[in-house]
């Protein structure tokens, strides 16, 4: 039934959009701490970079959600519609989780690199002992 496909789309779109915004909001609210550390407390650059990461996150995830929108199975019953939705939303949730962990990896890696640069700079700026 064509009506069930349209209803499935009307359920799918708000769910994936809200899920994407919830994950993005949580991730980027908490990642600002890492960005400030990565950029040595330069708030302006940290906020700007975090905002750009957020926009990219939205574009990638909402783009993917729209890309996989099409439901090709025939939805003859409400059960078939629910099953199709569970595959679509479940698959998107797995993808969104992978993207979340990828972003967290990038933040942790950036923090580690920034810490190594600070340690290296402190070492290089420290007093050098004359060699005998």
Indicate yes or no: pTM above 0.85: no
> Using one digit for the tens of pLDDT, what is the confidence trace for 14-42?
999 999 999 999 999 988 888 888 888 88
pLDDT computed for residue 8 by the predictor: 94
Q: Where are the alpha helices (DSSP H) in the chain?
A: 2-38, 43-67, 78-125
Using the structure block, give the residue that is written with the tokens 């700026």. Answer: 125
Q: Which residue, 82, 81, 86, is CA-closest to 1? A: 81
Angle at 9 between CA 19 and CA 57, to 5 degrees: 30
Please tell me the total number of residues recorded for the chain in this structure: 132
* Contact predicate 69/91, CB 8 Å: no
> Using one digit for the tens of pLDDT, what is the confidence trace for 107-131?
888 888 888 887 887 777 766 556 6
Separation of CA 105 from chain center: 11
Please, how many CA atoms are within 13 Å of residue 46, restricted to the half-sphere of its CB?
A: 20
């Amino acid at each position: 039934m064509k009506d069930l496909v349209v209803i499935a789309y009307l359920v799918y779109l708000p769910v994936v959009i809200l899920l994407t915004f919830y994950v993005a909001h949580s991730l980027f609210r908490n990642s600002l701490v890492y960005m400030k550390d990565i950029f040595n407390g330069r708030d302006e650059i940290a906020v700007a970079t975090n905002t750009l990461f957020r926009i990219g996150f939205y574009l990638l995830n909402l783009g993917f959600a729209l890309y996989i929108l099409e439901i090709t199975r025939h939805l003859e019953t409400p059960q078939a519609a629910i099953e199709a939705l569970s595959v679509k939303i479940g698959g998107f949730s797995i993808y969104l989780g992978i993207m979340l962990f990828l972003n967290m990896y990038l933040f942790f890696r950036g923090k580690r690199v920034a810490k190594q640069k600070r340690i290296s700079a402190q070492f290089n700026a420290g007093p050098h002992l004359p060699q005998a």
